Amino acid sequence: MNSLRTTLVIGVGNRFRGDDGIGLVVAERLCADCPPGAEIALSSGEAAELMDLWEGRDSVIIVDAAKSNALAGTIHTVEVDRDELPLDVFQASTHTFGLAQAIELARALNRLPRCMIVYGIEGVDFDHGKTLSPPVAAVVEFVAAKIRCHLQTPSTGEHRDT
């Protein structure tokens, strides 16, 4: 269902590259207890795929790995419709043209959803064949709970605190 009234949650990542899989893990956790009016999607982070997923959406939440030399497990939250996504934080993509570039292209083309929030979880290990590092795995439930809270808050047409 592609509706303006639902919130799409997109988990971004590669589960075979350590902490890069955090977005997928959080999205999969949300699938088990997803509030009504929300949809969950998984993405590798390829820009065209992301733009297709959020096309026509009013509200989107994205969860992805971040890499900015902050402590592993740090949660960066950006309201994309208000602020630019910092390229120096969201550089963990395996694609040359990833999440940050897709968002800025959509902004330039006036194709951003009205409300878009990105949760970037600071990773430390992006090696092939690895699983989530302990500090990143430790925040999965916390991030999922923040998103559930956001999804359960009645929409007033404005941003809700997360």
Which token pair is 103? 């968002």
pLDDT band at residue 152 using 50, 70 and 90 as cut-offs: confident
* pLDDT, tens only, 2-54: 444 689 999 999 999 999 999 999 999 999 887 777 899 999 998 889 999 99
**DSSP per position, 51-88:** HHHHTT-SEEEEEEEE-SSSPTT-EEEEETTTSPPPTT
* Domain residue ranges in the chain: 7-152
User: CA–CA separation, 2 vs 54, rounded Å?
Assistant: 9
Q: The domain 7-152: what is its CATH number?
A: 3.40.50.1450
162 vs 115: which has the higher pLDDT: 115
Number of neighbouring beta carbons within 10 Å of residue 93: 23
Q: What is the predicted pLDDT for the residue at 96?
A: 58
* pLDDT, tens only, 62-95: 999 999 889 999 999 999 988 887 776 676 555 5
Q: Give the containing element (helix H, strand E) for 27.
A: helix 22-31
